[in-house]
């Protein structure tokens, strides 16, 4: 199951999973996720399903976990990829402009939803002795250098904490929990950003969704069975820690 599955890294990840023969559940607040899931299944001849969910609503997230388990009886892989970064007129909010509502929404989607899904799906994974959870923590989860990103950065730091704590609790049960920390990836959101449209971006190049998805694809494989509690930087060397 992949949250934020209707575009960017989520879509690239779904493509790799389906190409490898996995059954894929796509989750997004975009209703188009139904069509995308159906097209993916038709292309790769695997069962797929789309769930339209507002991850900011705890009751919908809890219901999602229940519905995903009901679909095929189990969830082997959870990719917490969805995330938001609130802006106003293409401009990020500085700290003094952040309202309680902005803060709450970012944390609900970026941190609370992954927590709820992990909590609801982990027991069944542990009982079977196999499971993979990968969280998209972003480079912002590794640093605080970006202006106007306080809620996003704080939530992604929290997601790394959730990753590591979950890994400690689940590692003896055959379940691994890891994270990726991608730098700027060329998604539709990035292409709509003023700095990209103006040609003022300072990156040598942006990452491709497929490059981040490839790391996720490794982390959910049997080859990564000894990788647990790790945070993989996928940023072209723009941040080295």
What's the pTM? Answer: 0.92
Catalytic residue among 152, 206, 226, 232: 152
CATH class of domain segment(s) 15-22+69-234? alpha beta
Contacts 24+ apart (CB under 8 A), 23-26: 23/47, 23/48, 23/72, 24/48, 24/49, 25/1, 25/49, 25/50, 25/51, 25/68, 25/71, 25/75, 26/1, 26/2, 26/50, 26/51
Q: Tell me whether residue 152 is one of the annotated catalytic residues.
A: yes
- The answer to whether 90 and 193 have CB atoms below 8 angstroms apart is yes
How many Å apart are CA 119 and CA 96, to the nearest integer? Answer: 33
Q: Which tokens hold the place of 43?
A: 């292309």
136-165 pLDDT per residue, tens: 999 989 987 667 789 999 999 999 999 999
- What pLDDT is recorded for position 9? 95
170-218 pLDDT per residue, tens: 999 999 999 999 988 766 555 555 454 445 445 557 889 999 999 999 9
Q: Which tokens hold the place of 16?
A: 């790799």
SS3 174: coil
65-113 pLDDT per residue, tens: 999 999 999 999 999 999 998 766 566 778 898 999 999 999 999 999 9
19-57 pLDDT per residue, tens: 999 999 999 999 999 999 999 999 999 999 999 999 999
């Amino acid at each position: 199951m992949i949250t934020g599955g209707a575009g960017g890294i989520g879509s690239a990840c779904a493509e790799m999973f389906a190409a490898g023969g996995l059954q894929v559940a796509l989750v997004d607040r975009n209703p188009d996720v139904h069509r995308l899931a159906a097209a993916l299944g038709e292309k790769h001849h695997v069962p797929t399903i789309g769930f339209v969910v507002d991850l900011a609503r705890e009751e919908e997230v809890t219901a999602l976990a229940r519905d995903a388990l009901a679909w095929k009886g189990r969830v082997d892989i959870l990719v917490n990829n969805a995330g938001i970064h609130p802006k106003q007129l293409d401009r990020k909010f500085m700290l003094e402009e952040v309202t309680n509502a902005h803060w709450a929404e970012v944390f609900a989607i970026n941190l609370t939803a992954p927590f709820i899904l992990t909590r609801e799906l982990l027991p069944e994974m542990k009982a079977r002795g196999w499971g993979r959870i990968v969280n998209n923590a972003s480079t912002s989860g590794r640093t605080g250098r970006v202006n106007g990103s306080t809620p996003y950065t704080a939530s992604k730091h929290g997601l790394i904490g959730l990753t590591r704590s979950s890994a400690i609790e689940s590692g003896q049960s055959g379940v691994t929990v890891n994270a990726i920390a991608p730098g700027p990836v060329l998604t539709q959101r990035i292409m709509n950003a003023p700095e990209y449209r103006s040609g003022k971006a300072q990156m040598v190049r942006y990452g491709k969704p497929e490059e981040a998805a490839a790391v996720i694809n490794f982390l959910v494989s049997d080859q990564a069975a000894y990788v647990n509690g790790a945070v993989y930087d996928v940023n072209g060397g723009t941040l080295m820690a």
